[in-house]
Amino acid sequence: LEGEILGKEGFGFEPITVEGFVGRGLVGMARSLMLLPKSLWRAIQILRGHRADLVIGTGGYFSPPVVVAAWLLNIPRVLLEPNAMPGLANRVLGPLADRIFLAFDSAQSFFPSSKVKVIGTPIRKAFVLERSPIPPQKISHLLVFGGSQGARAINSAMLKAVEISSNLREQVTITHQTGADDLERVKAGYAQMGVHADVRPFLFDMPHELSKADLIVCRAGASTLAELSAYGKVGILIPFPQATHNHQEMNARSMEAAGAARVLLQADLTGQRLAEEIERWMSDIPHLQEMARQSWALRKVNATEQMVNQCLLLVRHPVAT
């Protein structure tokens, strides 16, 4: 999927062989460690081949080989940590980084203060609106998605919610990203109920989809939350329960505390509960509008510009090591 998305944007994609470390058990961790020398050597080859001027690590198990390779080659290194609770990869790599960009103040204590800058989560220019959006006047269109791979739990709960609620069947249209594996099942489920739903495995034009939606049902990844705020949208956030260190719930709780979203844990997720949450907003538009304004107030539209400018400065004037 990464290669397909990058290809559409005109960028190349160089894969490396690496596996996750956290939560894999002894055998999985041993396999992950055994792959590190190979992935590190491959990363060195890629960086040399492209004559890289800068490496940006965004966390996750793909980052360590590439960031360590950059450190060995004396290439400037930047980390982006968009979550309220930093992941293991970025925490381990922090001492090797020249600059560390954060989205949440709460993450500062995990990194050397001299390297840290809190900027928010960078988003694409397409997500930046020139003026504040008009708050929803009613809920007539829902956007449902569960991350790039979809989320079967959300898919199933949404189908059940529509089955339970005549208001959802009769008053609302739906755009639903299912992931490739669940596409046909969800399509068939909506069709059997006679519900108008645009069901797709992946949504490539998220700015367009967000602009149409009156309410969003989604996971709580950092980029997702930044994009919701950029459009002043309200989400029913269902954090991915297996996210490392439960960072998605922490992300979601921060948005809920600001009055810009509602959190529904997957452990509590049922079709009945989801239908009740959506219908609550359908019957209380003034509250939805106030939450939309709070969401808009959270946006940090210059995060991308700040990070780019700092990266360019680092390339021109590398930190002495």
Same fold for the domain at 2-121+301-316 and the one at 127-297? yes
| CA dist., res. 37 & res. 64, Å (int) | 11
Strand partners, 200: 177
Q: What are the pLDDT digits (tens) for 58-97? A: 998 889 999 999 999 999 999 999 999 998 899 999 999 9
**How do 141-144 and 116-118 pair as beta strands?**
unpaired
Backbone angles phi, psi at 130, to 5 degrees: -80, -25
Q: What's the rounded mean pLDDT across residues 1-5?
A: 74
In 3-state terms, what secondary structure has residue 42? helix
Q: What are the pLDDT digits (tens) for 130-147? A: 777 888 999 999 999 987
Backbone angles phi, psi at 42, to 5 degrees: -65, -40
Q: What's the rounded mean pLDDT across residues 279-302?
A: 94
Q: What is the pLDDT of residue 24?
A: 66
Listing DSSP states for 120-163 in one string gives -----GGG--SSPPPPPSS--EEEE--STT--HHHHHHHHHHHH
| CA dist., res. 169 & res. 160, Å (int) | 11
- CATH of region 2-121+301-316: 3.40.50.2000
Q: What are the pLDDT digits (tens) for 210-267? A: 999 999 999 999 999 999 999 999 999 999 998 877 899 999 999 999 999 999 999 9
Q: Report whether pLDDT(1) > 70.
A: no
Residues of the chain with pLDDT > 90: what percent?
74
Question: 127-297 sits in which CATH class?
Answer: alpha beta
pLDDT interval class at 31 (50, 70, 90): confident
| CA dist., res. 130 & res. 67, Å (int) | 36
Which of 4-8, 9-13, 94-98, 178-182 has the highest mean predicted lDDT (pLDDT)? 94-98
| CA dist., res. 129 & res. 288, Å (int) | 20
Closest-CA residue to 73 (of 47, 49, 94, 97): 47
Residues of the chain with pLDDT > 70: what percent?
95
Strand partners, 142: 174, 215
Closest-CA residue to 220 (of 205, 241, 203, 199): 241
Q: What is the pLDDT of residue 201?
A: 94
Q: What is the pLDDT of residue 225?
A: 96
Q: Report whether pLDDT(321) > 70.
A: no
Closest-CA residue to 87 (of 245, 295, 208): 245
Domain boundaries, the chain: 2-121+301-316, 127-297
Q: What is the pLDDT of residue 320?
A: 66
Work out the mean pLDDT of the chain and round it to a whole number. 91
Answer for the pair 189, 164: CB distance below 8 angstroms, yes or no: no
Predicted TM-score (pTM) of the model is 0.85
Q: Report whether pLDDT(275) > 80.
A: yes
Q: What's the rounded mean pLDDT across residues 267-280?
A: 97
pLDDT interval class at 7 (50, 70, 90): confident
